[in-house]
Amino acid sequence: MRKVIAIILGKIAKQVLKRRDGGSAYPGALAKKICPDILEVLIRPKLIVAVTATNGKTSTATIITNMLSQNGYTVGFNSSGTNTDNGVITLLIDSCNLKGQVVKDALVLEVDERHTKEVFKHLQPDYLIIGNITRDQAPRNGHLDVVMTAMKQALNDNMHLIVNGDDPLINKLTLNHKGKITYYGVSKNEASYVKARVTNLDIAYCPKCHARLEFKYFHYSNTGDYLCPNGDFKRPKIDYEATKINYRYKHFYINDQIKLPMQNDILFHIYNTLAAFTLSQLIGLKPEDVIASLKNLSFSIIRFEKLKLDNRPCTVLSCKNETPNSYDQSLLYIKRHREKKTVVMGFNRVCSRYTWSDLGWLWDADFEVLKDSNIDKIVCVGKFAYDVATRLIYAGINTDDIIICQTLDQAIKIIRKKTKGPIYAALNFDIVRQFATEVKEVTL
Amino acid sequence: MKIVIAHLYYDLMNLYGESGNVKALKKYLEEQGVKVTIKFLSLNDTMDFATYDFVYIGAGSENNRLLVLKDLKRYQKDIKRFIDENKFILATGNAHEIFGQYIIDLNHKKHKALSIFDYYAKDVDFRIVDEVYFETPLVKKPLIGFQNQASILRDNPHPLFTVIMGVGSYPNSKTEGFRYHNFYGTYITGPLLIRNPHFTKYLVKTILKNKYPDYKYKNINKSIEETAYRNFTKHLLSIKQ
């Protein structure tokens, strides 16, 4: 009875909130209050896939949802970014009938790394995709040991893990996993580099013998091909490897054999697509059907947009403050485009979750990449523009090439009057939409 | 003029952008015409303290801190001599715990530390996270920064700072940090030498005067860093109200 009341009230709350602000964690919280073991008493669908990562959870889960839908599955997905246990309950309540039977063929769950423990305790996925583990929101997370300890408690041997084999921290996390693991990864390519760019790798030593890890190449941060000199730890054999990556014509191959399209030319997108492709092969989809669904991928990646300012191409790259790797991705993307260019960076709030303004992460992100990226001017904007400018000076950017602005309005005026070449805006989430909107208004 | 900086355990004690501190020190010193060498040293590396002028260690995870303590014990006597000879150590975040009597972990296990200073540290089952606004008689203006730790420091006879905002050495403490000769320890994490140009100037002057008594400080324009500091101070005071 409690279960039915919880489902009905949860569904009502969801409908009411839908009119106001889309999905949220509230219906789930309400249902849990009425029926604390709600996650256990609901009847599961035949397939549950969970996705966790520091970066790319939503994109990966979206690609998977799209792929499953186009291959005949009915799919429930907590797409509104409510990736905590309450968010997952909201999704389940929304996807089930009054008997508590989930009426979808599959559930795709995007789960916050530290909430995996809570969610999986009650609702264990058949497949768990782990995309990457990296420094993120230090005031909330403390450090990676805290995150990894929580994630470790979430795993159990009945889950089939689908993991990024290039990330040594994921390998460390799954060392004692006795269940199935399938690895995906990216092969060495034109954008890989051999010498570590930074001294503050998230993992520098073998987790077994503490010998210093050796890297054959890097894709970014500590992601790449690594091994312990004593043979205790190394990049695993990759089952599904992205090879022959062609950023220009936007495609890559799986193990040199199957050609997959890329919706854009971002490295992270390759990883996300690879994760989805790996899953598709484990659940028996045909490669050609997966390729068709990737071509029809009908979602705009929130982190990436191509606009025009006057007649200049303007690429908008959303970055996540306090997640240095999110900046590294954007910076390496900028470097890969070799023409003389203008860059815009900044934010007004460090984080939307709390009022603290910790700025240490600025020094963990690899802004040094910009030093040899053929830049005309860098415009720093927002409340912390002087902190960003300081970071850029230390990264080797000439002070004369840095322009500091307080507002976006002022920044756009200066970009139009005083700068050259295509524009790359690497802005934090708090101002990136406003920037894109103003650019569109100016150009229309 | 020549200065050798040893950045110890750069690959283990580096949680919150601590690499900025060594970068700042190098830049400020070079602007004074100093030739700067940085030695990046870590586990099992040979260390030669007699050849260093300045040693830096940043914040690490609780586990890495204990790993580093174990490794650094090889050089306990050299480090003690280094401090007695008025040479410089800056230990930020939980790194300064290593120089005390002992560290008690969450399982109540007591790890004997380098025992150079009287204080001891104790791990706690919550994290202390806060903005920092700390005063010291060494410089006119307070220091800004951040603290993010899962341990506290007790029995500290020589605090470095008075707390204006922030938690300090332990919840509700009025003081923070430790100073003895030219050893500076603080729970302030991250790039404090970047964010507090006035304090970095003070350090650079002291380092150079100590080694080269005839040295005269050249004034360098730091207006961008200083504006960042000023804006942040305004921001801090506005959230305090």
List b or e across A97-107, with b for residues whose CB sees 16 or more CB atoms inside 10 angstroms.
eeebebebebb
Examine residue A24 and state whether it is found in any structural domain, yes or no. Answer: no
DSSP element (H, E) containing A39 = helix A38-41
% helix / strand / coil in chain A, to the nearest 5? 40, 25, 40
In the predicted model, is pLDDT for residue A301 greater than 70?
no
Which of A152, A202, A349, A359 is the best mutation test for B, with the most CBs of B within 10 A? Answer: A359
Q: Is the dihedral of CA A145, A150, A153, A154 positive or negative?
A: negative
**Nearest CA distance, B159 vs chain A (angstrom):** 24
- Indicate if the pLDDT at residue A20 is higher than 80: no
Whole-number pLDDT of residue A19 = 60
- The residue type of A261 is P
Which of B5, B8, B16 has the highest number of chain A CBs within 10 A, making it the mutation to test binding with A?
B16
Which CATH number do you get for residue A342?
3.90.190.20
CA torsion through residues A9, A13, A16, A18, sign: negative
The per-residue DSSP string of A248-266 comes to TTTEEEETTTEEEE-SSS-
Residues of B with CB under 8 A from a CB of A: 7, 10-12, 14-20, 23-24, 27, 40, 42-43, 61-63, 67, 127, 129-131, 146, 148, 150, 189-191, 194-195, 224-225, 227-228, 231-232, 235, 239
For residue B20, list chain A residues with Cβ-Cβ distance below 8 A.
360, 362-363, 394
DSSP 3-state assignment of A416? helix
Inspect the interface and report whether the beta carbons of B131 and A383 lie closer than 8 Å: no
Looking at residue A411, its amino acid is A
Q: Using DSSP, state whether A397 is helix, strand or coil.
A: coil
Residue B152 contacts residue B122 (beta carbons within 8 Å): yes
ipTM beyond cut 0.90 = yes
Give A135 to chain B, closest Cα distance, Å.
8
Tokens representing B8 are: 């110890």
Shared domain check, A348 and A277: no
Q: Which of the four pLDDT bands, split at 50, 70 and 90, describes residue B192?
A: very high
Lowest mean pLDDT among A212-226, A290-304, B188-202: A290-304
The residue-averaged pLDDT of A351-367 equals 94
Q: Which of B127, B143, B144 best tests the A interface by mutation, with the highest count of A CBs <10 A?
A: B127
At B198 the pLDDT is 98
State whether residue B169 is helix, strand or coil. coil
Q: Is residue A156 part of a domain?
A: yes
Q: Domain of A407?
A: 304-443
In chain B, the percentage of residues whose pLDDT exceeds 70 is 100
| Pairwise CA distance, residues A187 & A32, whole Å | 45
Q: What is the pLDDT of residue A261?
A: 93
- Domains for chain B: give ranges and CATH numbers: 2-240 (3.40.50.880)
In this prediction, residues A309-317 reach a mean pLDDT of 94
pLDDT (tens digit per residue) in A59-95: 999 999 999 999 999 999 887 667 777 888 888 888 8
Note the pLDDT tens digit of each residue in A143-186: 999 999 999 999 999 999 999 999 999 999 999 999 999 999 99
Q: What is the dihedral of CA A16, A17, A20, A21, to 10 degrees?
A: -160
**A283 and A349 part of one domain:** no
- Cβ separation B131–A357 shorter than 8 A: yes
Rounded Cα distance, A310 and A440, in Å:
9
Beta carbons of B19 and A200 less than 8 Å apart = yes
Residue A177 lies in a domain: yes
Q: Cβ(A369)–Cβ(A334) under 8 Å?
A: yes
Only one residue has tokens 């003081």, namely B175
CB contact under 8 A, B16 and A205: no
* A428 burial via Cβ count (<10 Å: 0-12, 13-18, 19+): buried
Region for A244 from its dihedrals, namely left if φ exceeds 0, alpha if ψ lies in -120 to 50, beta otherwise: left
Cα–Cα distance, B26 to B19 (Å, whole number): 11
* Residue B9 to chain A, least CA–CA distance (Å): 10
Taking the CA atoms of B117, B122, B127 and B133 in sequence, report the sign of the dihedral they define.
Answer: negative
| A229-243, A288-302, B46-60: range with lowest mean pLDDT | A288-302
Res B240: pLDDT? 74
Residue A96 pLDDT > 90, yes or no? no
Domain membership of residue A420 (yes or no) is yes
Amino acid at residue number B114: L
Together in a domain, A336 and A221? no
Give the residue ranges of DSSP H helices in B85-222: 192-195, 197-211
* Residue A23: pLDDT over 60: no
Alpha carbon distance A93, A123 (integer Å): 13
pLDDT tens for each residue of B202-234: 999 999 999 999 999 999 999 999 999 999 999
Separation in Å, CA of A55 to nearest CA in chain B: 19
Q: What is the pLDDT at residue A83?
A: 73
Kindly report the average pLDDT of chain A as a whole number. Answer: 91
Structural tokens at position A103: 């009426």
The residue out of A295, A322, A342 marking a domain boundary is A295
Q: Is the pLDDT of residue B106 over 90?
A: yes
Per-residue pLDDT tens over the stretch B35-73: 999 999 999 999 999 999 999 999 999 999 999 999 999
Query: Distance from A13 to chain B by nearest Cα, in Å?
Result: 34
Pick the last residue of a domain from A242, A272, A295: A295
Answer yes or no: do A310 and A272 share one domain.
no
The answer to whether the CB atoms of A386 and B228 lie below 8 A apart is: yes
> Looking at chain A, which residue has its C-alpha nearest residue B19?
A363
Residue at A34 is within a domain = no
pLDDT at A394 over 90: yes
Number of domains in chain A: 2
The verdict on A267 and A390 lying in the same domain is: no
The Cα-based distances of A23 to A11, A18, A30, A298, B138 in angstroms read: 11, 6, 13, 20, 53
* Co-location of A288 and A383 in the same domain: no
Judge if A236 and A367 occupy the same domain. no
In chain B, how many H helices and how many E strands? 6, 12
Is A9 among the domain residues?
Answer: no
Q: Which band of pLDDT confidence, cut at 50, 70 and 90, is reported for residue A302?
A: low
The rounded mean pLDDT for chain B is 97
The pLDDT of residue A303: 72
E strands, chain B, are: 2-8, 35-41, 54-57, 88-92, 102-104, 110-112, 120-135, 143-154, 161-165, 175-176, 178-180, 183-186
What Rg do the C-alpha atoms of chain A give, in angstroms? 22
Q: Which CATH number belongs to the domain containing residue A182 in this structure?
A: 3.40.1190.10
What average pLDDT does this structure show over A367-379?
95
The candidate with the shortest Cα–Cα distance to A189, out of A242, A235, A147, is A242
Whether residue A221 is contained in a domain is answered as yes
Distances (CA, A) of B108 to A323, A399, B105, B111: 33, 51, 5, 9
- What are the tens digits of pLDDT across the range B5-25? 999 999 999 999 999 999 999
- Alpha-carbon distances, residue B143 vs A405, B24, B96, B169, B195 (angstroms): 25, 15, 18, 15, 8
Return the pLDDT at A437.
93
d(C-alpha A311, C-alpha A307), whole Å: 10
Residues A175 and A317 in one domain: no
CA distance B128 to A24: 29
Q: Give yes or no: residues A289 and A312 share one domain.
A: no
Residue B84 C-alpha, separation from nearest chain A C-alpha, in angstroms: 30
Of A303-312, A358-367, B137-146, B173-182, minimum mean pLDDT range = A303-312
Say how far apart CA B57 and CA B13 lie, in whole Å: 7
A288 and A357, same domain (yes or no): no
Listed in sequence order, the residues at least 6 apart from A262 whose beta carbon sits closer than 8 Å to its beta carbon are A247, A250, A251, A252, A269, A270, A273
- Pair (A280, A324) in one structural domain: no
Residue percentage of chain A with pLDDT more than 70: 97
What is the largest distance, in Å, between two alpha-carbon atoms of chain A?
70
Choose one of A245, A269, A295: the last residue of a domain. A295
Question: What's residue B239's pLDDT?
Answer: 82
Question: What are the angstrom distances between the C-alpha of B173 and each of A73, A179, B81, B190?
Answer: 59, 49, 31, 21
**What residues of chain A lie within 8 A of the CB of B61, using their CB?**
143-145
C-alpha torsion A393→A395→A401→A407, nearest 10? -70
Q: How far is B113 from chain A (nearest CA, A)?
A: 21
pLDDT at A21 (0 to 100): 53
The confidence score (pLDDT) of residue A90 equals: 85
**Which of A139, A387, A389 lies nearest to residue B148, judging by beta carbons?**
A139
Global pTM exceeds 0.90? yes
Claim to verify: residue A291 and residue A335 sit in the same structural domain: no
Is A163 strand, coil or helix?
strand
Q: Determine whether the interchain pair B228/A389 forms a contact, defined as Cβ–Cβ distance below 8 Å.
A: yes
A4 part of a folded domain: no
Cα separation, A134 vs A268, in Å, equals 14
